[in-house]
Amino acid sequence: MIDIMGHTPHATTLRDLVVLRASYGEKPFLICRDETLTYADSDRLSNRVANSLIAHGIGHGDVVATLMYNAVEQALIWFGCAKIGAIYAPLNVSLVKDDLAYSLNDTGAKMLVVDEELAPAYNAAAPALDFKPQVLVHGAVDVIPGARPLNDLLQGEETLPDIEVKGTDPMAIVYTGGSTSMPKGVLASHLYYIAAAIRYEEIAEATEDDVHYANSHFFHIGGQQFAITSPLYLGMTGIMDKWFSASNYWNIVHKYGATIIDPLGTMMAVLLRRPESELDKTHKVRVGVGIASSQVRRELRDEFQARFGAPMLEVYSMTEMGVLMCSERLHDRRIGSCGRPHGWAEVMIVDPDDNPVPANTQGQILFRPKVPNTYMIEYVNKPKETLAAWQNLWYHSGDLGYLDDEGYVYFVGREAHWIRRRGENVSAFEVEKALTAHEAVVDCAAVGVPSDVGEEDIKVYIQLSDAADRPDPAELVGWCKERIAFFKVPRYVEYVEEFPRTMTKNEIARHELRERGIGAPWDSNTGNWIEA
């Protein structure tokens, strides 16, 4: 029997785990937007989906993508895929036109399930697809030509398909923000999720009696782990909603008796701005998990803990590393640190040439797993990027930090050109690619600047052509809104005659632009220029 860090896992595949947990019967497994999916129905109905997928020509290794808001149907699609060895690829519901076409082409999905209200985004992207997937709609089918109803997938037989699925088989593609390129699809195995669930159990000291209110989405590894795979592994109940709502947050916590939460930094800031209430400390929450280090000022985290009465545990987490690879524990916390790997991985801090640096010296954070098959398999369709990430047989995070003398990890900042906005990783390249497609834009650079709600806002520096019809900033922001997801659209616009550039490669010196801060740009929130 397989051993994972001293644990004998309940199952090594999601397929077997769903079957095993059917014994929990009518216990709620997932409550999403007030709709309940029980453990028994998770198994029974996902068998229907699995057999229907086979009938539609989906087999082992084929990709089924979704463009859907959080819904219990998403779990059934994922479990149905897992039962036949197919690969589940949930896409960000904010994607539109160009970036939706890119991600869907990257998956090579044979089938796509789309929410009715997201049909316009798919229809706009469809002409740019390299292939034509089978399309099913969650809702009215006439919104997409030639589509079929999602209900078709629930018409299959309820017997478990006789297909071999191994723990090392690919199970999902999760997209993560690129640093100097388009988003990369992280291909993850069944064992990747099993190991992550065990780490979650250790960090939160979770049991089947816990209820986790997850504040993310099926297309995020956080939503997948906190609402789906970890609760499933432990026999818990997971709670999800369509979107985060500050005004309704504690109402939901109380309604379902949540004991574990995972608010991101911006969510914490917004919740603290709400009027104080008797709900603040009359809940059952005993711990918060997943507060990525440096997402939020420590003073803000301390204020959140004091007001709402629950310890908030920091973790260092990346999709590529199987998430929650480094963490605080309730009994092991150190100010300023995001914890230790607790035996799950080796951590090394290196200089630009990958040479280890002494303790308390800043450098790039590198990780290496101590348990096989618990990190990503690869970046989909990106062999060069995969090899680069694993240079010298260590995973290069692209993040800066240091280790103290006792091996605690301290996250300092992000080395690569990405921006953290509203809980999303945004590639500067994606924003720049959209803007440079405008005929008036010669060159541009996107950087992160401080946000008043935590994390960052996006500022773009734009060099215009000498054409007579020069666009105003509102036109360029509108141009972006038509082509990329809303969270990638810049807030600030500043025009430049030329860019500062590096001496070695003549590249835009982004670090110099970041150091300028907000400055005196045009602000899309107010429609006005900020005075210097």
> Is residue 24 a part of any domain in this protein?
yes
Mark whether 385 and 444 lie in a shared domain. Answer: no
Q: At residue 163, what are phi and psi to the nearest 5 degrees?
A: -135, 135
Predicted model pTM = 0.85
Q: How far apart are CA 357 and CA 359, in angstroms?
A: 7
DSSP SS3 for 32: strand
Statement to judge: residues 244 and 168 lie in one domain: yes
pLDDT score recorded for residue 297: 62
Q: Are residues 375 and 489 in the same domain?
A: no
- Judge if 335 and 470 occupy the same domain: no
- Determine the structural domain holding residue 71 and report its residue range: 14-402
H helix runs in 224-328, sequence order: 230-234, 249-256, 265-272, 298-308
Query: What is the rounded average pLDDT of the residues 49-61?
Result: 98
Average of per-residue pLDDT across 63-70: 98
What mean pLDDT is predicted for residues 366-379?
95
- Output the pLDDT for position 296: 58
Q: What is the CATH number of the domain that holds 393?
A: 3.40.50.12780
Give percent helix, percent strand, percent coil of the chain, each to the nearest 5.
30, 25, 40
Residue range 276-296, pLDDT digits in tens: 998 899 999 999 997 654 455
Kindly state whether residue 444 falls inside one of the protein's structural domains. Answer: yes
What the block records as the tokens of 478 is: 């509108």
Alpha helices in 400-531 (DSSP H): 428-436, 473-481, 510-515
* Beta strand segments in 133-230, E: 134-138, 148-149, 170-176, 184-189, 211-213
Is residue 5 in some structural domain?
Answer: no
Sheet strand arrangement including 363-369: 345-350, 363-369, 395-403, 409-414
Q: Are residues 107 and 235 in the same domain?
A: yes
Q: What percent of the chain has pLDDT over 70?
A: 95
Assess if residue 497 is contained within a domain. yes
* b (16+ CB within 10 A) / e for 190-199: bbbbbbbbbb
Given a cut of 90, whether residue 452 has pLDDT beyond it is no
Exposed, middle or buried by CB within 10 Å (0-12, 13-18, 19+), for 368?
A: middle
- Does pLDDT of 532 surpass 80? no
69 or 264, higher pLDDT: 69
Q: Quick: pLDDT tens for 379-429.
A: 999 999 999 999 999 999 988 889 999 999 998 766 667 788 877 878 787
CA separation for the pair 476, 339 (Å, rounded)? 42
Residues 165 and 190 sit within 8 Å (Cβ to Cβ): yes
The two structure tokens encoding residue 529: 């220029």
Distances (CA, A) of 213 to 42, 253, 258, 364: 19, 7, 6, 33
DSSP-assigned beta bridge partners for residue 366: 348, 396
At 170-189, the pLDDT tens digits run 999 999 864 445 789 999 99
Provide the total of helices (H) and of strands (E) in the chain, helices listed first.
Answer: 15, 27
C-alpha span between 49 and 55 (Å, rounded): 10
State the average pLDDT over residues 63-73.
98
Same structural domain for residues 326 and 354? yes
Is the CB of residue 176 less than 8 Å from the CB of residue 398?
no
Choose the final residue of a domain: 402, 434, 458: 402
| Residue 6, in any domain of the structure | no
Side-chain half-sphere of 326: how many Cα atoms within 13 Å? Answer: 28
pLDDT value at residue 433 = 83
User: Of 48-52, 152-156, 442-446, which gets the smallest average pLDDT?
Assistant: 442-446
CA 15 – CA 12 distance, rounded (Å): 9
d(C-alpha 493, C-alpha 511), whole Å: 17
Mean pLDDT in residue range 78-91: 98
Residues 6+ apart with CB under 8 A from 404: 334, 337, 359, 360, 410
Q: What's the pLDDT score for residue 426? A: 82
* pLDDT of 504 strictly over 50: no
pLDDT score for 72: 98
For 508, which DSSP code?
A: B
Percentage of the chain beyond pLDDT 90 is: 72
Write down which residue in 370, 402, 434 finishes a domain: 402
Half-sphere CA count of 70, side-chain side, radius 13 A: 26
The model's pLDDT over 192-211, given as tens digits with 9 standing for 90+, comes to 999 999 999 999 999 999 99
Looking at the fold, whether 398 and 425 belong to one and the same domain comes out as no
CB atoms within 10 A of CB 504: 6
Contact 232, 15 (CB under 8 A): no
Asked whether residue 447 falls in the same domain as residue 394, the answer is no
CATH code: domain of residue 512: 3.30.300.30
Q: Are 234 and 344 in a shared domain?
A: yes
Q: Is residue 7 part of a domain?
A: no
pLDDT value for 503: 47
pLDDT tens digit sequence for 108-145: 999 999 999 999 999 999 999 999 999 999 999 999 99
Distance CA 432, CA 66 (A): 27
The last residue of one of the domains, among 372, 402, 432, is: 402
Per-residue buried b or exposed e for 271-301, using 16+ beta carbons within 10 Å of the residue's own CB? beeeeeeeeeeebebbbbbbbbbbbbeeeeb
Residue 267 has pLDDT above 90, yes or no: no
What integer is the mean pLDDT of 66-75? 98
Are 158 and 293 within one domain? yes
Number of domains in the chain: 2
- Which residues neighbour 507 within 8 Å (Cβ) at sequence distance 6 or greater? 501
Residues present in the chain in total: 532
| CA–CA dist 194, 82 (Å, integer) | 13
User: Does residue 36 lie in a domain region?
Assistant: yes
- pLDDT value for 174: 96
The DSSP bridge pattern shows strands 111-115 and 134-138 to be parallel
Top pLDDT among 29 and 96 is at: 29
Amino acid making up residue 525: N
**Any domain includes 414:** no
**Range in 224-228, 297-301, 505-509 the model is least confident about:** 505-509
pLDDT at 180: 47
Q: Are residues 331 and 222 in the same domain?
A: yes
Q: Are 409 and 384 in contact (CB under 8 A)?
A: no
Average pLDDT of the chain, as a whole number: 91
CB atoms within 10 A of CB 336: 12
| pLDDT for res 264 | 79
Whether residue 458 is found in the same domain as residue 335: no
Does residue 443 contact residue 436 with C-beta atoms inside 8 Å? Answer: yes
